[in-house]
Chains A and B, each alone.
Chain A
Protein backbone atom coordinates (compact mmCIF):
# COMPACT_ATOMS: atom_id res chain seq x y z
CA UNK A 1 0.00 0.00 0.00
CA UNK A 2 1.62 3.28 -1.10
CA UNK A 3 1.26 6.69 0.57
CA UNK A 4 -1.44 7.89 -1.89
CA UNK A 5 -3.65 4.85 -1.15
CA UNK A 6 -3.28 5.46 2.60
CA UNK A 7 -4.41 9.12 2.22
CA UNK A 8 -7.35 8.40 -0.12
CA UNK A 9 -8.32 5.35 1.94
CA UNK A 10 -8.26 7.40 5.16
CA UNK A 11 -10.37 10.22 3.65
CA UNK A 12 -12.93 7.79 2.20
CA UNK A 13 -13.11 6.03 5.57
CA UNK A 14 -13.92 9.33 7.30
CA UNK A 15 -16.62 10.11 4.69
CA UNK A 16 -18.15 6.63 5.03
CA UNK A 17 -18.07 6.90 8.84
CA UNK A 18 -19.81 10.31 8.83
CA UNK A 19 -22.51 8.95 6.49
CA UNK A 20 -22.94 5.84 8.67
CA UNK A 21 -23.32 7.95 11.84
CA UNK A 22 -25.82 10.29 10.19
CA UNK A 23 -27.95 7.33 9.05
CA UNK A 24 -27.66 5.64 12.46
CA UNK A 25 -28.78 8.80 14.27
CA UNK A 26 -31.82 9.21 11.94
CA UNK A 27 -30.51 12.46 10.52
CA UNK A 28 -31.29 11.33 6.96
CA UNK A 29 -34.58 10.14 5.48
CA UNK A 30 -34.48 6.56 4.09
CA UNK A 31 -34.31 7.69 0.44
CA UNK A 32 -31.36 10.02 1.13
CA UNK A 33 -29.73 7.33 3.29
CA UNK A 34 -29.75 4.99 0.25
CA UNK A 35 -28.09 7.66 -1.93
CA UNK A 36 -25.43 8.49 0.65
CA UNK A 37 -24.79 4.80 1.46
CA UNK A 38 -23.96 4.24 -2.22
CA UNK A 39 -21.71 7.31 -2.15
CA UNK A 40 -19.99 6.01 1.01
CA UNK A 41 -19.37 2.53 -0.45
CA UNK A 42 -18.07 3.97 -3.74
CA UNK A 43 -15.78 6.32 -1.79
CA UNK A 44 -14.36 3.37 0.17
CA UNK A 45 -13.75 1.28 -2.97
CA UNK A 46 -12.10 4.15 -4.88
CA UNK A 47 -10.23 5.30 -1.76
CA UNK A 48 -8.58 1.93 -1.12
CA UNK A 49 -8.25 0.85 -4.77
CA UNK A 50 -7.55 4.10 -6.70
CA UNK A 51 -6.06 2.07 -9.55
CA UNK A 52 -9.65 1.15 -10.59
CA UNK A 53 -10.04 4.68 -11.95
CA UNK A 54 -6.82 4.34 -13.97
CA UNK A 55 -7.98 1.03 -15.45
CA UNK A 56 -11.46 2.30 -16.39
CA UNK A 57 -9.94 5.52 -17.77
CA UNK A 58 -7.41 3.77 -19.98
CA UNK A 59 -10.09 1.31 -21.19
CA UNK A 60 -12.23 4.30 -22.22
CA UNK A 61 -9.24 5.87 -23.94
CA UNK A 62 -8.99 8.82 -21.55
CA UNK A 63 -5.48 10.36 -21.67
CA UNK A 64 -5.53 11.54 -18.03
CA UNK A 65 -7.66 8.99 -16.08
CA UNK A 66 -8.13 10.98 -12.80
CA UNK A 67 -10.27 13.48 -14.76
CA UNK A 68 -12.84 10.66 -15.21
CA UNK A 69 -13.33 10.56 -11.45
CA UNK A 70 -13.82 14.34 -11.27
CA UNK A 71 -16.35 14.30 -14.15
CA UNK A 72 -18.37 11.46 -12.56
CA UNK A 73 -18.40 13.22 -9.18
CA UNK A 74 -19.46 16.51 -10.80
CA UNK A 75 -22.32 14.80 -12.67
CA UNK A 76 -23.50 13.14 -9.43
CA UNK A 77 -23.33 16.47 -7.59
CA UNK A 78 -25.25 18.27 -10.33
CA UNK A 79 -28.01 15.64 -10.25
CA UNK A 80 -28.15 15.90 -6.47
CA UNK A 81 -28.37 19.73 -6.53
CA UNK A 82 -31.15 19.71 -9.15
CA UNK A 83 -33.19 17.16 -7.17
CA UNK A 84 -32.63 19.29 -4.06
CA UNK A 85 -33.97 22.38 -5.84
CA UNK A 86 -37.00 20.41 -7.06
CA UNK A 87 -37.70 19.32 -3.49
CA UNK A 88 -37.13 22.85 -2.19
CA UNK A 89 -39.64 24.25 -4.69
CA UNK A 90 -42.15 21.64 -3.55
CA UNK A 91 -41.49 22.52 0.10
CA UNK A 92 -41.84 26.25 -0.57
CA UNK A 93 -45.16 25.64 -2.29
CA UNK A 94 -46.39 23.56 0.66
CA UNK A 95 -45.21 26.17 3.18
CA UNK A 96 -46.99 28.92 1.22
CA UNK A 97 -50.20 26.86 1.13
CA UNK A 98 -49.96 26.18 4.86
CA UNK A 99 -49.31 29.83 5.68
CA UNK A 100 -52.30 30.86 3.56
CA UNK A 101 -54.52 28.33 5.34
CA UNK A 102 -53.34 29.56 8.75
CA UNK A 103 -54.05 33.17 7.75
CA UNK A 104 -57.56 32.29 6.55
CA UNK A 105 -58.29 30.26 9.69
CA UNK A 106 -57.08 33.14 11.87
CA UNK A 107 -59.46 35.45 10.02
CA UNK A 108 -62.34 32.99 10.58
CA UNK A 109 -61.58 32.85 14.33
CA UNK A 110 -61.48 36.66 14.52
CA UNK A 111 -64.82 36.87 12.67
CA UNK A 112 -66.37 34.43 15.16
CA UNK A 113 -65.00 36.47 18.07
CA UNK A 114 -66.54 39.64 16.62
CA UNK A 115 -69.90 37.85 16.18
CA UNK A 116 -69.85 36.81 19.85
CA UNK A 117 -69.16 40.38 20.96
Chain B
Protein backbone atom coordinates (compact mmCIF):
# COMPACT_ATOMS: atom_id res chain seq x y z
CA UNK B 1 0.00 0.00 0.00
CA UNK B 2 2.78 2.38 1.04
CA UNK B 3 4.70 1.45 -2.08
CA UNK B 4 1.65 2.15 -4.26
CA UNK B 5 1.13 5.60 -2.74
CA UNK B 6 4.81 6.54 -3.19
CA UNK B 7 4.65 5.40 -6.83
CA UNK B 8 1.59 7.59 -7.40
CA UNK B 9 3.31 10.61 -5.85
CA UNK B 10 6.34 10.04 -8.05
CA UNK B 11 4.18 9.75 -11.16
CA UNK B 12 2.20 12.87 -10.28
CA UNK B 13 5.31 14.97 -9.70
CA UNK B 14 6.77 13.57 -12.89
CA UNK B 15 3.63 14.49 -14.88
CA UNK B 16 3.83 18.03 -13.52
CA UNK B 17 7.50 18.34 -14.50
CA UNK B 18 6.67 16.91 -17.92
CA UNK B 19 3.97 19.51 -18.44
CA UNK B 20 6.39 22.34 -17.67
CA UNK B 21 9.00 20.82 -19.90
CA UNK B 22 6.56 20.20 -22.77
CA UNK B 23 5.71 23.89 -22.90
CA UNK B 24 9.42 24.69 -23.26
CA UNK B 25 10.06 22.03 -25.90
CA UNK B 26 9.70 23.50 -29.34
CA UNK B 27 8.52 21.61 -32.40
CA UNK B 28 11.92 22.16 -34.01
CA UNK B 29 13.63 20.46 -31.14
CA UNK B 30 11.22 17.54 -31.30
CA UNK B 31 12.01 17.07 -34.98
CA UNK B 32 15.69 16.63 -34.16
CA UNK B 33 14.97 13.67 -31.86
CA UNK B 34 14.65 10.07 -33.03
CA UNK B 35 13.31 7.22 -30.92
CA UNK B 36 14.87 3.86 -31.80
CA UNK B 37 12.80 0.78 -30.97
CA UNK B 38 14.69 -2.53 -31.42
CA UNK B 39 12.12 -5.28 -31.87
CA UNK B 40 12.16 -9.05 -31.87
CA UNK B 41 8.87 -10.93 -31.55
CA UNK B 42 6.87 -8.28 -29.73
CA UNK B 43 3.50 -8.71 -31.47
CA UNK B 44 1.53 -8.13 -28.25
CA UNK B 45 3.13 -4.85 -27.19
CA UNK B 46 4.56 -3.09 -30.25
CA UNK B 47 1.30 -1.38 -31.31
CA UNK B 48 0.83 0.22 -27.91
CA UNK B 49 4.46 1.41 -27.77
CA UNK B 50 4.10 3.06 -31.21
CA UNK B 51 0.77 4.61 -30.17
CA UNK B 52 2.35 6.15 -27.07
CA UNK B 53 5.33 7.55 -28.97
CA UNK B 54 3.11 9.00 -31.71
CA UNK B 55 0.98 10.59 -28.99
CA UNK B 56 4.09 12.36 -27.71
CA UNK B 57 4.86 13.57 -31.24
CA UNK B 58 8.35 12.08 -31.62
CA UNK B 59 9.88 10.66 -34.78
CA UNK B 60 10.67 7.01 -34.38
CA UNK B 61 12.17 4.04 -36.21
CA UNK B 62 11.46 0.39 -35.49
CA UNK B 63 14.34 -1.98 -36.10
CA UNK B 64 12.79 -5.37 -36.70
CA UNK B 65 15.47 -7.92 -35.86
CA UNK B 66 14.01 -10.65 -38.11
CA UNK B 67 10.92 -11.32 -35.98
CA UNK B 68 9.14 -14.55 -36.82
CA UNK B 69 5.80 -13.77 -35.18
CA UNK B 70 3.13 -11.27 -36.29
CA UNK B 71 5.09 -8.13 -35.27
CA UNK B 72 5.59 -6.87 -38.83
CA UNK B 73 2.06 -7.79 -39.91
CA UNK B 74 0.62 -5.80 -37.01
CA UNK B 75 2.46 -2.57 -37.76
CA UNK B 76 2.77 -2.80 -41.56
CA UNK B 77 -0.34 -0.73 -42.24
CA UNK B 78 0.24 1.70 -39.37
CA UNK B 79 3.74 2.94 -40.08
CA UNK B 80 6.48 3.04 -42.70
CA UNK B 81 9.12 3.78 -40.07
CA UNK B 82 10.54 0.30 -40.02
CA UNK B 83 13.89 -1.21 -40.95
CA UNK B 84 14.02 -4.98 -41.35
CA UNK B 85 17.16 -6.96 -40.58
CA UNK B 86 17.68 -9.91 -42.95
CA UNK B 87 18.52 -12.15 -39.99
CA UNK B 88 18.68 -11.89 -36.20
CA UNK B 89 21.66 -9.93 -34.90
CA UNK B 90 20.59 -8.98 -31.37
CA UNK B 91 19.32 -5.86 -29.64
CA UNK B 92 22.62 -3.98 -29.66
CA UNK B 93 23.17 -4.38 -33.42
CA UNK B 94 19.54 -3.29 -33.95
CA UNK B 95 20.29 -0.14 -31.97
CA UNK B 96 23.45 0.39 -34.05
CA UNK B 97 21.36 0.16 -37.24
CA UNK B 98 19.13 2.81 -35.71
CA UNK B 99 22.19 4.97 -34.94
CA UNK B 100 23.35 4.68 -38.57
CA UNK B 101 19.89 5.73 -39.73
CA UNK B 102 19.82 8.65 -37.25
CA UNK B 103 23.28 9.76 -38.38
CA UNK B 104 22.29 9.58 -42.05
CA UNK B 105 19.12 11.61 -41.38
CA UNK B 106 21.06 14.11 -39.23
CA UNK B 107 19.13 13.67 -36.00
CA UNK B 108 20.75 15.40 -33.02
CA UNK B 109 19.45 13.25 -30.17
CA UNK B 110 18.55 9.57 -30.07
CA UNK B 111 16.34 7.78 -27.55
CA UNK B 112 16.44 3.98 -27.27
CA UNK B 113 13.61 2.05 -25.67
CA UNK B 114 12.44 -1.56 -25.65
CA UNK B 115 9.36 -2.68 -27.54
CA UNK B 116 8.23 -5.03 -24.75
CA UNK B 117 6.21 -2.31 -23.03
CA UNK B 118 8.52 -2.08 -20.00
CA UNK B 119 9.73 1.39 -20.95
CA UNK B 120 6.96 3.94 -20.73
CA UNK B 121 7.43 6.56 -23.52
CA UNK B 122 5.99 9.16 -21.16
CA UNK B 123 9.41 9.31 -19.51
CA UNK B 124 11.16 10.41 -22.72
CA UNK B 125 10.71 14.11 -21.91
CA UNK B 126 12.18 13.57 -18.47
CA UNK B 127 15.23 11.77 -19.88
CA UNK B 128 15.77 14.46 -22.51
CA UNK B 129 16.16 17.29 -20.02
CA UNK B 130 19.84 16.70 -19.02
CA UNK B 131 20.85 16.37 -22.69
CA UNK B 132 19.05 19.55 -23.73
CA UNK B 133 20.46 21.40 -20.71
CA UNK B 134 23.93 20.07 -21.72
CA UNK B 135 24.40 18.42 -18.32
CA UNK B 136 25.13 15.02 -19.88
CA UNK B 137 25.96 13.23 -23.15
CA UNK B 138 24.19 10.01 -22.20
CA UNK B 139 21.14 9.70 -19.97
CA UNK B 140 20.00 6.39 -18.50
CA UNK B 141 16.45 5.80 -17.31
CA UNK B 142 17.30 4.15 -14.02
CA UNK B 143 15.26 1.69 -11.96
CA UNK B 144 17.71 -0.63 -10.16
CA UNK B 145 14.98 -2.03 -7.87
CA UNK B 146 13.69 -4.36 -10.57
CA UNK B 147 16.77 -6.60 -10.49
CA UNK B 148 16.68 -9.95 -8.65
CA UNK B 149 19.00 -10.33 -5.61
CA UNK B 150 21.63 -12.30 -7.55
CA UNK B 151 21.65 -9.68 -10.29
CA UNK B 152 22.17 -6.94 -7.69
CA UNK B 153 25.14 -8.80 -6.14
CA UNK B 154 26.71 -9.53 -9.54
CA UNK B 155 26.31 -5.96 -10.76
CA UNK B 156 27.60 -4.57 -7.44
CA UNK B 157 30.92 -6.34 -8.03
CA UNK B 158 31.05 -5.43 -11.74
CA UNK B 159 30.25 -1.79 -10.95
CA UNK B 160 32.98 -1.48 -8.36
CA UNK B 161 35.57 -3.40 -10.32
CA UNK B 162 34.94 -1.42 -13.52
CA UNK B 163 34.69 1.89 -11.69
CA UNK B 164 31.23 2.58 -13.14
CA UNK B 165 29.31 4.98 -10.93
CA UNK B 166 25.95 3.93 -12.35
CA UNK B 167 23.18 2.26 -10.37
CA UNK B 168 21.25 0.70 -13.26
CA UNK B 169 23.74 -0.85 -15.66
CA UNK B 170 21.24 -2.89 -17.65
CA UNK B 171 18.55 -0.35 -18.49
CA UNK B 172 18.07 -0.01 -22.25
CA UNK B 173 15.98 3.15 -21.87
CA UNK B 174 18.64 5.69 -22.75
CA UNK B 175 19.23 8.98 -24.54
CA UNK B 176 22.40 9.76 -26.50
CA UNK B 177 23.49 13.03 -28.06
CA UNK B 178 25.01 13.34 -31.55
CA UNK B 179 28.59 13.40 -30.26
CA UNK B 180 28.10 9.94 -28.73
CA UNK B 181 26.33 8.57 -31.82
CA UNK B 182 29.21 9.71 -34.05
CA UNK B 183 31.71 8.06 -31.72
CA UNK B 184 29.77 4.79 -31.52
CA UNK B 185 29.30 4.32 -35.27
CA UNK B 186 32.99 5.00 -35.89
CA UNK B 187 34.28 2.67 -33.18
CA UNK B 188 34.60 -1.13 -33.08
CA UNK B 189 31.56 -1.37 -30.82
CA UNK B 190 29.81 -3.64 -33.32
CA UNK B 191 31.81 -6.44 -31.73
CA UNK B 192 29.51 -6.29 -28.67
CA UNK B 193 26.50 -8.55 -28.23
CA UNK B 194 24.68 -6.75 -25.43
CA UNK B 195 23.58 -3.14 -25.14
CA UNK B 196 24.29 -2.61 -21.46
CA UNK B 197 27.55 -2.86 -19.51
CA UNK B 198 29.92 -3.32 -22.48
CA UNK B 199 28.57 -0.18 -24.14
CA UNK B 200 28.98 1.84 -20.93
CA UNK B 201 32.53 0.54 -20.49
CA UNK B 202 33.41 1.86 -23.94
CA UNK B 203 31.81 5.25 -23.23
CA UNK B 204 32.41 5.88 -19.52
CA UNK B 205 35.62 7.90 -19.71
CA UNK B 206 34.82 9.84 -22.87
CA UNK B 207 31.32 11.10 -22.12
CA UNK B 208 29.24 12.44 -19.26
CA UNK B 209 26.69 9.85 -18.14
CA UNK B 210 23.73 10.77 -15.98
CA UNK B 211 20.97 8.67 -14.47
CA UNK B 212 17.39 9.82 -14.17
CA UNK B 213 15.07 7.79 -11.92
CA UNK B 214 12.07 6.29 -13.67
CA UNK B 215 9.74 3.35 -13.11
CA UNK B 216 10.27 0.38 -15.38
CA UNK B 217 7.13 -1.74 -15.67
CA UNK B 218 7.12 -5.52 -15.28
CA UNK B 219 6.87 -7.60 -18.43
CA UNK B 220 3.27 -8.48 -19.14
CA UNK B 221 4.04 -10.80 -22.03
CA UNK B 222 6.93 -13.05 -23.11
CA UNK B 223 10.35 -13.53 -21.60
CA UNK B 224 13.51 -11.42 -21.44
CA UNK B 225 15.69 -12.28 -24.45
CA UNK B 226 18.93 -12.17 -22.45
CA UNK B 227 17.83 -13.88 -19.23
CA UNK B 228 15.50 -16.55 -20.63
CA UNK B 229 17.66 -19.54 -19.62
CA UNK B 230 20.46 -20.45 -17.21
CA UNK B 231 22.86 -20.88 -20.12
CA UNK B 232 22.07 -17.39 -21.44
CA UNK B 233 22.49 -15.85 -17.99
CA UNK B 234 25.83 -17.62 -17.60
CA UNK B 235 26.97 -16.47 -21.05
CA UNK B 236 25.97 -12.89 -20.24
CA UNK B 237 27.80 -13.03 -16.89
CA UNK B 238 31.00 -14.47 -18.37
CA UNK B 239 31.05 -12.05 -21.33
CA UNK B 240 30.47 -9.17 -18.92
CA UNK B 241 33.29 -10.27 -16.60
CA UNK B 242 35.76 -10.60 -19.50
CA UNK B 243 34.72 -7.26 -21.00
CA UNK B 244 34.99 -5.56 -17.62
CA UNK B 245 38.51 -6.93 -17.09
CA UNK B 246 39.66 -5.97 -20.60
CA UNK B 247 38.13 -2.49 -20.71
CA UNK B 248 38.90 -1.49 -17.14
CA UNK B 249 41.85 0.68 -18.08
CA UNK B 250 40.46 2.16 -21.34
CA UNK B 251 40.61 5.96 -21.37
Say which one of B6-14, B86-94, B150-158 lies at the interface with A: B86-94
- Picked from A89, A102, A111, the residue with its CB within 8 Å of the CB of B86 is A102
Once the chains bind, are A104 and B83 in contact (CB under 8 Å)? yes
Residues on the B chain within 8 Å of A93, using CB: 188, 190-191
Once the chains bind, are A97 and B190 in contact (CB under 8 Å)? yes
Using C-beta atoms within 8 Å of the partner chain, give the interface range for chain B: 10 to 19
Which of B63, B86, B104 counts the most A-chain CB atoms under 10 A from its CB? B86
The verdict on A58 contacting chain B, using a C-beta distance below 8 Å, is no
Residues on the A chain within 8 Å of B101, using CB: 104, 107
The CA-CA distance from A89 to B97 in the complex, in Å, is 19
- Chain A nearest CB: distance from B191 CB in Å? 6
With A93-B191, A96-B89, A96-B190 already in contact, the answer to whether A103 and B80 are too (CB < 8 A) is no
The verdict on A114 contacting chain B, using a C-beta distance below 8 Å, is yes
Known: A89-B191, A96-B190, A103-B86. 13 other contacts (CB 8 A): A93-B190, A96-B93, A99-B85, A100-B93, A100-B97, A102-B86, A103-B63, A103-B83, A103-B85, A103-B97, A104-B83, A104-B97, A107-B101
User: In the complex, what residue of chain A is closest to B84 when comparing beta carbons?
Assistant: A103
The verdict on A110 contacting chain B, using a C-beta distance below 8 Å, is yes
The verdict on A106 contacting chain B, using a C-beta distance below 8 Å, is yes
The CA-CA distance from A110 to B84 in the complex, in Å, is 11
Restricting to B29-78, which residues have a CB under 8 Å from any CB of A? 63
The verdict on B100 contacting chain A, using a C-beta distance below 8 Å, is yes
The verdict on B214 contacting chain A, using a C-beta distance below 8 Å, is no
Tell me the interface secondary structure of chain A in the complex: helix
Residues on the B chain within 8 Å of A110, using CB: 80
Once the chains bind, are A100 and B96 in contact (CB under 8 Å)? yes
Once the chains bind, are B87 and A99 in contact (CB under 8 Å)? yes
Which of A89, A100, A107 counts the most B-chain CB atoms under 10 A from its CB? A100
User: In the complex, what residue of chain B is closest to A106 when comparing beta carbons?
Assistant: B84
Once the chains bind, are A99 and B190 in contact (CB under 8 Å)? no
- Chain A nearest CB: distance from B177 CB in Å? 21
The CA-CA distance from A93 to B63 in the complex, in Å, is 18
Once the chains bind, are A99 and B89 in contact (CB under 8 Å)? yes
The CA-CA distance from A102 to B188 in the complex, in Å, is 19
Once the chains bind, are B100 and A104 in contact (CB under 8 Å)? yes
| Shortest 4 CB-CB contacts between residues of A and residues of B | A100-B97, A107-B83, A103-B83, A99-B86
- Chain B nearest CB: distance from A88 CB in Å? 12
